[in-house]
Structure formats: structure tokens, C-alpha cells
């Protein structure tokens, strides 16, 4: 834990036994390791294994820096805190109540995932309020002696927050930074229901860009050092999808809209990445869910 130049570390959580799907970040601080988005409880063995490879035991974890509380990012938080009650959990003010009482969050996830909940995510245990630390938008957060700039970044989720590590300049962008699962500079905007807000998302991208990050760390997947190009690509794709949604809503019969969207996006991806990468993007996010999120945005927000 003493070679500070090699931090942050990317931990592959081997979601469903596969590499490159969900990553957690590991950051050293004077108080111990900070884990950015520990992932779902179903991935805990891989998280513990990844920490062990860095020479860290679970008890060395000082805190969990959550970008948002979706199950693939924050599902394991309560289980980790139950096993290690000293662990602090950093979270957006709108996410905090759902960690203390996850009933609503789990009900809405169950509507989406049904009987696959346990296989995909495992346990989602509550986090005691006493473990929570809730930074405000614009704060400078001291997490274990390391300083982070904090920005509330709606767009993907209304309770999303990004953190800029003041030492490394890396921004932990969760899903606000999109999905990028290959070396190609293609970034896919994950737009599932119920919170998608394209205009707010552009504002969030602008705030991250204004930090002039030395890298963008995204959960799906890992650290990308070409931060400006990455953010440009994300903004362009978000606009293209938004426009596509409008075109489909205006000209395609209701029962054919979802498949029209999915086909158009698959074709866009195929044109921009290698065949292998196209498979990775296909596995990275349900485009049916992306349609549902955009359709809702056009109906309720735009
Ligand atoms: Zn995610």
C-alpha cells in the first residue's frame, strides 16, 4: 500500500463470473482503503479477493464512496458495514434514506428483475444511519484524510454524485460517465428508468469536464485517461439517442418503438467498435431498459 503512484486501482468484480462488467475503485488514504462503489453483494468474494491482491484485508477498508445507490454499485454496502461496523458510507443526500431503509429501492428493483434479484445482486442489507456521511453539492469532502471535490450530478439518477480526488485528479464518475467497455472511444449512455434527464446529464458532464480530470473512472468499466475525449463521446451519444427517441416517438407505431430503438442503437455500436467489443457493449446494458428510460423522459420531463 505504499506505491502511491499506482493508485487508484481498478478491481474487477467478475460480475456473473465474467470479467470487464463491474469495477470498483480502490484508493489509499491515511485512514485505510476507500472503495468506490463496492458493487453488489453477489460480487463480495471478488471484491475481497481484489483487495487481498493489493495486500489489504477487509478490515483495512476505511469507507465506501458511493456514486449512487443502484444495486450494481452499492448493493454490498450494508453487508460490508455489518461485518465491519467502523466502515463509513459516503452517499448523496437523496440516496441516504434508501440505504437506511431499502424497502422502496428493493421493490422497484424487483419490478425490473423479478426472481433474478438474488442471483444477480445477492443480499441488500440496510446501512445504519450512524455509518452514513452525506456530503453536499460543492463540498470538499475529507474521506479518511484524502480530499475530494463533490458534485451532485443528476442525469442517469437523480441521486448521483461524482467525486474528484484532489491528489490524483481522477474523477469517480459512476454511471454519469457512461459505459465504456473496450479500448475504442465509444461511450454508451446508460438510460434506464426512472430518473433519466438528458438536459441535467449534459450539465453534469460539463461539471465533470470543468474539473479537468486526469482520468475518468467509470463502474462499467475502469479508468480512462483520455478524459476530455471520453466526455465528448458520451455527450455526443447522449444527444444522438435523445434525437433518435424523438424521431421514433413521432414516426413509429407504439408497439414497434422499442425494437426500432434497440436495432438502431445496435447498428450505431456496430459501426463504431470491433465485433468483439460490440458483444461486450451488448452485455453491458439492456437497451430495452434504455428505451424505457428515454421514453419516460420524453413523456414526463422534456
Ligand atoms: Zn451501473
The sign of the torsion formed by the CA atoms of 220, 262, 117, 298 equals positive
Residue 4 has pLDDT above 70, yes or no: no
Number of Cβ atoms within 10 Å of the Cβ of 55: 10
Considering the domain architecture, whether residues 168 and 128 belong to the same structural domain is answered as no
3-state DSSP helix/strand/coil % of the chain, to nearest 5: 45, 20, 35
Alpha-carbon distance of 118 to 139, in angstroms, equals 36
Split at pLDDT 50, 70, 90, the class of 6 is low
Q: For residue 145, is it within any domain?
A: no
| CA of 72 relative to ligand 1 center, distance in Å | 5
- Strand 23-29 and strand 32-36: the pairing is antiparallel
Give the end of a domain, one of 135, 168, 193.
Answer: 135
The closest of 41, 40, 39 to 26, measured between CA atoms, is 39
Residue 299 CA to ligand 1 centre (angstroms): 23
In a domain? residue 170: yes
Cα 68 to averaged position of ligand 1 atoms, centre (Å): 9
HSE-up of residue 49 (Cα within 13 Å, Cβ side): 7
**Domain of residue 158, residue span:** 153-302
Predicted pLDDT at 27: 97
Identify whether 148 is part of a domain: no
CA 98 to chain centre: 17
Q: Are 151 and 162 in contact (CB under 8 A)?
A: yes
pLDDT of residue 1: 43
Calculate how far, in angstroms, residue 125's C-alpha sits from the geometric centre of ligand 1: 18
pLDDT value of position 3: 45
Max Cα separation, the chain? 60
Structure confidence at residue 2 as a pLDDT band (50, 70, 90): very low
Domain count, the chain: 2
Of residues 64, 72, 71, the one with CA closest to residue 27:
64
- Both 106 and 159 in a single domain? no
Residue at which a domain ends, from 78, 101, 135: 135
User: Do 102 and 242 belong to one domain?
Assistant: no
CATH of the domain at 119: 3.60.15.10
Average of pLDDT values for 251-279?
Answer: 96
Ligand 1 centroid vs 73 CA: distance in angstroms? 6
* Residue 183 binned pLDDT confidence (cut-offs 50, 70, 90): confident
253 CA from centroid of ligand 1 (Å): 30
Query: Could you tell me if 57 and 197 lie in one domain?
Result: no
In a domain, 18, yes or no: yes
Q: Ligand 1 centre from 221 Cα, in Å?
A: 10
Least reliable range by pLDDT among 1-10, 142-151, 244-253, 261-270: 1-10
Q: Could you tell me the three cell numbers for 105?
A: 429501492
Please report whether residue 234 resides in a domain.
Answer: yes
* Gap from CA of 248 to ligand 1 centroid (Å): 26
In the prediction, which pLDDT does 112 show? 84
Q: Which pTM does this prediction carry? A: 0.96
Measure 184 CA to ligand 1 centroid, in angstroms.
Answer: 20
In this model, does residue 5 exceed pLDDT 90? no
Same domain, yes or no: 241 and 127: no
What is the average pLDDT across 251-260? 98
Whether residue 86 is preceded by a cis peptide bond, meaning omega within 30 degrees of 0, is no
Is the pLDDT assigned to residue 170 strictly greater than 90?
A: yes
- Is 116 found in the same domain as 182? no
Q: What is the mean pLDDT of the chain?
A: 95
Both 157 and 237 in one domain: the answer is: yes
Give the other-Cβ count within 10 Å of 302's Cβ: 13
Distance 111 CA to ligand 1 centre (A): 17
**Do 163 and 131 share a structural domain?**
no
Q: What is the pLDDT of residues 41-94, one digit of tens each?
A: 999 999 999 999 999 999 999 999 999 999 999 999 999 999 999 999 999 999
Gap from CA of 161 to ligand 1 centroid (Å): 13
Question: Please, which residues bridge with residue 28 across strands?
Answer: 33
Q: What is the pLDDT of residues 20-38, one digit of tens each?
A: 999 999 999 999 999 999 9
Amino acid at each position: 500500500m505504499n506505491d502511491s503512484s499506482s493508485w487508484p486501482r481498478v478491481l474487477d468484480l467478475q460480475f456473473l463470473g465474467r470479467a470487464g462488467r463491474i469495477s470498483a475503485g480502490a484508493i489509499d488514504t491515511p485512514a485505510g482503503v476507500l472503495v468506490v462503489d463496492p458493487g453488489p453483494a453477489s460480487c463480495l468474494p471478488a471484491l475481497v479477493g481484489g483487495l487481498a491482491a493489493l495486500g489489504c484485508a477487509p478490515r483495512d477498508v476505511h469507507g465506501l464512496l458511493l456514486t449512487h445507490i443502484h444495486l450494481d454499485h452499492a448493493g454490498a454496502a450494508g453487508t460490508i458495514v455489518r461485518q465491519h461496523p467502523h466502515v463509513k458510507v459516503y452517499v448523496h443526500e437523496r440516496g441516504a434514506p434508501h440505504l437506511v431503509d431499502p424497502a422502496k429501492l428493493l421493490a422497484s428493483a424487483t419490478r425490473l428483475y423479478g426472481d433474478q434479484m438474488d442471483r444477480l445482486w445477492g443480499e441488500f442489507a440496510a446501512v445504519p444511519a450512524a455509518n452514513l456521511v452525506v456530503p453536499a453539492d460543492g463540498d470538499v469532502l475529507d474521506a479518511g484524510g484524502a480530499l475530494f471535490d463533490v458534485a451532485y450530478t443528476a442525469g442517469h439518477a437523480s441521486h448521483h454524485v461524482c467525486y474528484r480526488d484532489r491528489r490524483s485528479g481522477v474523477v469517480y464518475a459512476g454511471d454519469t460517465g457512461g459505459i465504456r467497455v473496450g479500448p475504442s472511444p465509444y461511450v454508451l449512455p446508460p438510460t434506464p428508468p426512472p430518473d433519466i434527464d438528458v438536459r441535467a446529464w449534459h450539465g453534469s458532464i460539463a461539471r465533470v469536464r470543468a474539473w479537468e480530470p486526469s482520468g475518468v473512472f467509470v463502474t462499467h468499466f475502469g479508468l480512462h485517461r483520455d478524459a476530455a475525449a471520453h466526455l465528448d463521446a458520451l455527450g455526443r451519444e447522449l444527444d444522438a439517442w435523445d434525437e433518435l427517441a424523438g424521431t421514433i416517438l413521432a414516426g413509429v407505431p407504439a408497439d414497434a418503438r422499442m425494437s426500432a430503438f434497440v436495432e438502431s442503437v445496435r447498428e450505431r455500436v456496430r459501426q463504431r467498435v470491433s465485433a468483439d467489443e460490440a458483444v461486450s457493449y451488448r452485455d453491458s446494458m439492456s437497451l430495452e431498459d434504455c428505451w424505457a428510460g428515454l421514453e419516460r423522459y420524453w413523456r414526463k420531463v422534456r
